[in-house]
Amino acid sequence: MECKTKRLRLKSKFTVDEELLRDDLTDVGKGVGHKGTVVHAVRQLYRTERDIRNKCAGLEDLHQKITGVTYPLVLALDPYYVANPGYMKRIITDELDKGALPVRDFSWQILDARGFEQLLALARQQDLCALVAKKFSSPELQAQEMTTFVDNYVKEKQVSRDTLMHPALSVEFSTFMQDIQSRYGFRFGE
């Protein structure tokens, strides 16, 4: 997993204009290979996986641990509602092909912090690797944003929605609800 703090401009998010997205994903003007971009993150994941499989020096601890399928994830702190559809993947793939090290036949996913939190909360009851493997299992699932994928998975498997709330947040929410009830006599869910 590679983490990036790169934000999409508001105009890029709402217009989903290909040129604006390309500029945001590649940081046009900051030079090829700028380290804050999603494109750089995918390149970095590709190089790391390639180096592990080629048993490069410095990665000895990982040579024995990573022998099967990997699931490269780019974690973005900013909400990336448009992260994995075909047009977004095409923009990133086009940029990856331009580098000194073309990235081909490499499957990856972008998820935002919100989707990652939901995924980890669900992983308390389900196997995390199996969940991520399912996300990578078909083009339709790969195109979904992570929160949509988790929501659909919860419906399909009939997992309790309470699973998606972090335990600390669950306690905080419960305390808040009790406070509202005691102060105002209002009860939610009745």
The ranges of the chain with pLDDT < 50 are: 29, 190
**The residue to which tokens 């988790």 are assigned:** 150
pLDDT per residue over 20-69, tens digit each?
Answer: 888 887 765 455 555 678 888 888 899 888 888 888 888 888 877 777 78
Residue 17's pLDDT is what?
84
Residue 8's pLDDT is what?
79
What pTM was estimated for this model as a whole?
0.71
Residue 16's pLDDT is what?
78
Residues in the chain: 190
Residue 91's pLDDT is what?
84
8-state DSSP, 102: -
**The residue to which tokens 């399912």 are assigned:** 134
Angle between helices 38-53 and 18-26 (to 10 degrees): 60
Domain boundary assignment for the chain:
2-113
Residue 160's pLDDT is what?
59
Residue 30's pLDDT is what?
54
Please say whether the beta carbons of 159 and 124 come within 8 A: no
Distance (Å, rounded) from C-alpha 189 to C-alpha 180?
13
Residue 169's pLDDT is what?
56
Residue 94's pLDDT is what?
85
